[in-house]
Structure 1
Amino acid sequence: MSSEKKSIIPKFTELNELAGLMNGGQVIFATDDWFASAESMLQNTEPVFIADKYTEFGKWMDGWETRRKRIPGHDWCIVKLGAPCNIKGILVDTAFFTGNYAPRISIQGASLSEYEESLLPHRQGKMGTACSADELQMISKLKTECWPELVEMTSLKPGYEETRKTYISVDSNEVCTYIRVNIYPDGGIARLRVFGTVVPDLSQFDCNDVIDLIAMENGGTCVGYSNAHFGHPRNLIKPNRGVNMGDGWETMRRLDRPAILEADSNGILKVPGCEWAIIKMCCLGYVSEIVVDTCHFKGNFPDSVKIEGTILSPEETLSSAKWVTILANQKLSANKEHFYKNEIHVDGPFSHVRITMSPDGGISRVRLFGQKAH
């Protein structure tokens, strides 16, 4: 593993993010939550700074910040990831932690059995607290300090705009459901992002089970797109409904829009351009129902949507794909879930789907329900 130059955003940031609270991440244990609880480190929003905001424990900070350590050791926490994954990269953001940032970090990971998960202590997660002796004894049974190291001890920089973000590539074949985040010896981190590829246990589903074939938690991955100016298309496959417009896929307004818009006989606008995103499905599968959700997109939803499918072998590239129409152009409306079943032209099997919006705009979520191919 190696730190990337701060001026370069690594390719791994295009993968699914598995630590954010809205992506299913969860803090299970932390040695200390004095100034700010570890849950704040997993917020999906950008960190903020409020100059005159204080609590009874000290300066309010938007992140995880431990007290100045006055006993031997260092602080650490355990994070449950949103899905089992092979981690490819980490982003550590110290935004606004300038004189109080954690100087160093390392990360370990493991996949826990049901029995091991039963040993986890109940998490309180309150500002101004530290773990109890009983909690520390319970977590010690897992020997988390012996988990495989994913990120060796790495220096962090203060949370000024030009130095706040540290990108760390991870070279490991471990499939992790939990990570241990070590800070040395104490201090604060504004945000932690964990990027990787989900490794689901699809053996739990048989060919009669209906599943979301592109859901992040099932192993769906965004592998290409035309535009992500306001929001990345990987948001389309996140769990739950979107919480705001920033929690969806939104493109810029296309500059090739006609000066005066016209519609065809079906009410669909006649425009020359479109935007697209390609999602790799969790497995080869047949599509039986589609949901397109424009939740929160009220003045900027797309006029229409089209969905196509293809089968690609591991050796083939997207440029060689031959696309088949699953769902022909459908008129969309604002802030609404759109359900399609009888409108499906071809059900598959498919390994990848291409979601095309015209001419531009925002979609919150897309669900492709169906069954695994035999």
Structure 2
Amino acid sequence: MTDFTELVDLASERLGGEVLWATDEFFGPKENLLKAAAPVFIPDKYTDAGKWMDGWETRRHRAPDHDWCQIRLGAPGIVRGIVVDTAHFTGNFPEKCSLEASADQQEWTELLAPSGLRGAAQNCFAIHDPFRYTHLRFHIYPDGGVARLRVHGELIPERLDDFINLAAMENGGRVIEASDMFFGSRHNLICPGRSTGMHDGWETRRRRGPGHDWAILELAAHGEIRRVEVDTFHFKGNFPESCSLETEAGQEILPRTRLQAHTGHVFESELKPASASRVRFCIYPDGGVSRLRIFGIPTELGRAAHAVRLWNSLTPAEARNRFLGCCGSRSWANAMTAARPFASMEAIFEAGVRIWRGLAREDWLEAFAAHSRIGERTSDELAASEQSGTNSASSAVLGELARLNRDSEAKFGYIYIVCATGKSADQMLALLRSRLANDPQEELGIAAEEQLRITQLRLQKTGSSR
């Protein structure tokens, strides 16, 4: 196996992955493809269709075509490699397979060209593509059976809520290292939901010398840690005597604390104030833990890092559309898309300013035209939020805004552009009155700077998903 298999399985049914559709599933249902459990073989088990197989298996093809299925990933992310497991398929496995990916189910990108498969084997293929996807098309040539498909990659969630499980796999958390995993994988610690048994937890061998076992977690985002949950469910004679938690730098978060068998432990008042992006979870001296949850609030540093990662990983088409949502100039959106990857949010802001100020007047006017008029009802949720200061305005103020909006548009050739965030209707009306006295060139410059403020706020909101 290769290094990418240590990354999360983005297609896992445990994360919500699903095979949406398949050309055929005569011998084995498509749902088998994403099962978490390893495939099994039962020699004497048959069905009305024929020999029972623990996998997706299609009937034999007599026409010059092939079978394929469409998969919705359990979580969006960058695919780093796949494992096509043909376990127990010896004379009925496909000759080749290929893989396509999409972020919108309209534009599809080939991640893996048709590649040869071996029977009864874990066929590993590294993928070299930097973009974040949500759906896959898995092709087999021409037909046959595949036991399991594992799609390993870097999980990049759409948003970070205000209070989240920073360790959770579904939020982008990872267990990057552990002292031992003799009986159970370290990755089980952060799987969704409650564990189903000892096999579904992290368990180390019996320690015969000094020391203790540990696991290092990379959190979904740098965050302030507020609550820790340690589950020892199903571990009754083999649970750790105690546990502790500290930052990567060694700052204590949870002092060494006793644990009980087959119990869900919740720690809040016991925690010391701490912010971290990586933590070390220690168990004394050894044993099994089914789940570890670390709840907290993503910091501004964590949100910014997530935003940059999200912007950089969007497909070109998706990035262009989201940039257009921040600024309606196609030239600006195209240039921002081409300027990726960005090193920081500051770099995104700087590129946005540089590109905006280098555009032609026609590009500025195109951006202005994408806005709704101040005070008018709009179905655009982002614009409605920005203009929320008009919600409590009187009908007289709204009427005056509408009248002066028309005067401004007649004089300058475009609608009144103002960064409405944090402004009341009265404030925006006063600004509009004063700006009607400007000459066209002066007003164009002011409107361009207001558009820039709007763009920067939207970049921050869209990227941080807050």
TM-score > 0.5, shorter chain as reference = yes
Aligned match of 2:128: 171
* Alignment partner of 1:181 out of 138, 141, 156: 138
User: Counterpart of 1:215?
Assistant: 168
Q: Is the 8 A contact 1:237 1:367 kept in 2?
A: yes
Query: Which amino acid is the alignment partner of residue 89 of structure 2?
Result: F
Q: Which of 264, 269, 284 is the equivalent residue of 1:337?
A: 264
Query: Which residue of 71, 76, 91 maps to 1:99?
Result: 91
- Which residue does 2:231 correspond to in 1? 293
Query: Partner residue of 1:148?
Result: 109
Decide which of 233, 246, 263 is 2:186's aligned counterpart. 233
What is the match of residue 319 of structure 1? none
- Name 1:77's counterpart in structure 2: 69
For 1:275 and 1:303, locate their aligned partners in 2 and report how far apart those are by CA, in whole Å.
12
Counterparts of 1:167-316 in structure 2, within 5 Å, are 167-202=124-159, 205=161, 209-256=162-209, 272-310=210-248
Deviations 1:148-177 (A, max 9, x none): 111221111111xxxx11111111112011
* In structure 2, distance between residues paired with 1:232 and 1:341: 27
1:84 is paired with a residue whose SS is strand
How far off is 1:71 after superposition?
3.4
2:29 touches 2:57 (CA, 8 Å); kept in 1?
Answer: yes
CA distance in structure 1 between the partners assigned to 2:137 and 2:197 by the alignment: 30
Q: Displacement, 1:72?
A: 3.8
**What is the TM-score with the length of structure 2 in the denominator?**
0.63
Which one-letter code corresponds to 1:224 in the other structure? E
Shift of 1:74: 0.9
Task: Verify the 8 A CA contact 1:326 1:345 in the aligned structure 2.
Answer: yes
Alpha-carbon offset, residue 201 of structure 1: 2.3
> In the TM superposition, what is the alpha-carbon distance from 1:55 to its structure 2 partner?
0.5
Which string of whole-angstrom CA distances, capped at 9 and with x for unpartnered residues, describes residues 96-123 of structure 1? 10001111111111223xxxxxxxxxxx
Distance 1:167 1:255 in 2: 37
Matched residue of 1:106: which SS?
A: strand
**Maintained 8 Å contact 1:223/1:278:** yes
Counterpart check, 1:88 vs 2:80: yes
Letter in 2 for 1:187: G
Q: Do structure 1's residue 355 and structure 2's residue 281 form an aligned pair? A: yes
Letter in 1 for 2:40: V
Q: Distance in 2 between matches of 1:22 and 1:177?
A: 16
SS of equivalent to 1:48: coil
Query: 1:19-168 alignment to 2 at 5 Å?
Result: 19-112=11-104, 142=105, 147-159=108-120, 164-168=121-125
Percent identical residues: 45
CA distance in 2, matches of 1:275, 1:170: 33
Task: Tell me if structure 2 keeps the 8 A contact 1:19–1:194.
Answer: yes
Q: Where does structure 1 lack aligned partners over 5 or more consecutive residues?
A: 1-8, 113-141, 257-271, 311-321
Structure holding more helix per residue: 2
CA distance in 2, matches of 1:88, 1:294: 32
Q: Is the 8 A contact 1:15 1:222 kept in 2?
A: no
* Equivalent residue pairs, number: 300
> Runs (4+) of structure 1 moved beyond 6 Å?
none
Measured after TM superposition, the shift of residue 70 of structure 1 is 2.7
TM-score between both structures, scaled by the size of structure 1: 0.77
Instruction: Say if 1:278 and 1:354, in contact at 8 Å, map to a contact too.
Output: yes
Q: 2: CA distance between counterparts of 1:300 and 1:177? A: 39
TM superposition shift of 1:362: 1.1
Residues 194-238 of structure 1 deviation map (CA, whole Å, 9 limit, x = unaligned): 111111223x53xxx211111111111122211111222121111
Partner of 1:325: 252
Paired position in structure 2 for 1:372: 298
1:345 partner letter: K
In structure 2, the partner of 1:3 is: none
In structure 1, what is the Cα distance between the partners aligned to 2:171 and 2:280? 18
Q: What SS does the aligned partner of 2:157 have?
A: coil
Shift of 1:47: 1.0
Deviation, 1:185, is: 0.8
Q: How far apart are the structure 2 equivalents of 1:330 and 1:103?
A: 55
Q: Deviation of residue 69 (structure 1)?
A: 1.6
Q: Relative to structure 2, which stretch is displaced further, 336-345 or 229-238?
A: 229-238
- Structure 2 unaligned blocks of 5 or more: 301-466
Amino acid aligned to 1:305 = C
The answer to whether the 8 Å contact 2:11/2:75 transfers is no
